[in-house]
Structure formats: C-alpha cells, structure tokens
Amino acid sequence: MGLHAFFVFDAFTEFFSALTAIFVAYYSLRAYKILEDSRMVALNLGFSVLGVGMLVHGAIKVRIALAVLSGVPVPPARRLPLVRLGYTLAFATELAAYALILLATIKRPPSMETTLLPPLAAPLLEYDFRSEALLAVLALLIAVKAGIGYSQGESRLAGLVSLGFALLSASHFLLVFGGPLKLISADVARLLGFACLLWMVIRVSRVGA
C-alpha cells in the first residue's frame, strides 16, 4: 500500500469509527429517553466521548497527512507535538469511553477511576505500548461481558457487540505486538469492529418493523 493510499485509508477508518460511535451514542440517548435507565447515560457519554476523540484525532491525522503529501519536510510524524497531542487526546477519550461503557454494562463496577487512569502529565508517543495494552484489555472486558450475554441466550445482538469489541481489542493488541503491517492490520480490525456495532444498531432499528 502506497503512502497516499495508507493516509486515505487511515483517515477513512478514523472518521468511519467516529461517526459510528456517535451514531451508537445517539441510540443510547434514545434508549435512555424510553427506558429511563441511568446506565444508558453512561453508555451515551462513553460513545460520545469516543466519537469526539476519534474525530479530533482523525482531523489531526488529515492535517499531518496533507503536510506530508504536499512535500513539506517534516520530522518522523510519530514525534511531532501535534501527533503526540492528538494521540494523547485519543488515548484519554478511548480510556474514558471504554471505562464508561464497561461501567454501564456491569452491575457493581470496581473502582476503576483510581486503578486504571495512568498519569497523563506528558503527551504520549503515538501507539505507546502501555496505553494500547490498557485499551486492549478494557475493550476485551466489554467483549467478554457482551459475550456472556450472548452465550446465555439473552440477546443475539450481543454477539455483534462482543465481536465488535473483540475486534477493537485486537486492533489495540496489534499496535502492541504487530509486525510491519501492524498499522494497516489495526485499522482494518478497528474498521470491522465499528462495522459490527453499526450493524447491531441497524438490526435494532429493524426490531418490530
């Protein structure tokens, strides 16, 4: 894959993921209005934060990509302050989002606020090992929780949520352990993960139709 194609694909996956997250957030808000269940607020907040963080991260990626593609000499993108700031923001929002989504889906949440939040005093390097591992574990926990619901036959759609978050977890793990193709593989896994969530919402919208 050429540099141009990679930048376009990377930005596409980021924006697709962001818009899907915002769509799920909108559905959570509708669910809250009808079900009046406070867990839906946490779900709404989680997906809203996730979507906005990805939109900002995507916009920063596009800005850097345009600079690179226009031939402006730039140092390794990973070390640019803007990229580090964007990644730190994306990491913080994803961490908050996954924690909120996990809190919404479990009955008695552990005190994650104190145990999971790492120090964010300095901007992180893009695809930092520890931060990606942390996000991968959180996404995996959400996948397991939804998977339990699916295995107990409570909802067939829980299978899509479980698969979606398993793929999101895989995308974070790929950034930790992946080889040369890790960025593209992680982008593909994330794209498929959000496609599962989008498909779940579309299936929900057809219930009773």
Partner 1 sequence: MTARQRYRSKMRICYDMLRVIQEEGGEAGPTRILYGANLSYERLKRYLAELIEKGLIEEVERDGKRIYRLTDSGRMFIVHFRKMTEFAKAFGMIL
What's the Cα-to-Cα distance from 158 to each of 33, 38, 148, 192, 201, rounded to whole Å? 21, 20, 8, 16, 11
Least distance between partner 1 and beta carbon 91 (Å): 23
SS3 content of the chain, % helix, strand, coil (to 5): 80, 0, 20
Query: Which residues, 6+ apart, have CB-to-CB distance to 117 below 8 Å?
Result: 95
Q: Is 154 in the site for partner 1 (CB under 8 A)?
A: yes
Q: Are 184 and 144 within 8 A, CB to CB?
A: no
Distances (CA, A) of 134 to 36, 115, 124, 131, 192: 32, 11, 14, 5, 20
Q: Which is nearer to partner 1, 160 or 175 (CB)?
A: 160
What is d(CA 72, CA 62) in angstroms, rounded to the nearest whole number? 14
Q: Does 100 bind partner 1 (CB under 8 A)?
A: no
The H or E element containing residue 19 is helix 3-35
Judged by beta carbon, residue 184 or residue 201, the one nearer partner 1 is 201
Could you say which of 3, 5, 35, 202 contacts partner 1 (CB under 8 A)?
35
Note whether 166 binds partner 1 by CB under 8 A: no
Out of 31, 62, 125, 184, the only residue in the binding site for partner 1 (CB under 8 A) is: 31
CA distances from 138 to 7, 103, 109, 153, 164 (A): 27, 11, 13, 23, 13
Q: Per rule CB under 8 A, is residue 200 in the interface with partner 1?
A: yes
22 binds partner 1 (CB under 8 A): no
Please say which residue, 3 or 35, places its beta carbon nearer to partner 1. 35
Among 97, 146, 166, 167, binds partner 1 (CB under 8 A): 146
Binding region for partner 1 (CB under 8 A) out of 85-93, 115-123, 152-160, 187-195? 152-160
Q: Which residues bind partner 1 (CB under 8 A)?
A: 27-28, 30-31, 34-37, 39-40, 43, 101, 104-105, 145-146, 148-149, 154-155, 157-158, 160-161, 200-201, 203-205, 207-209
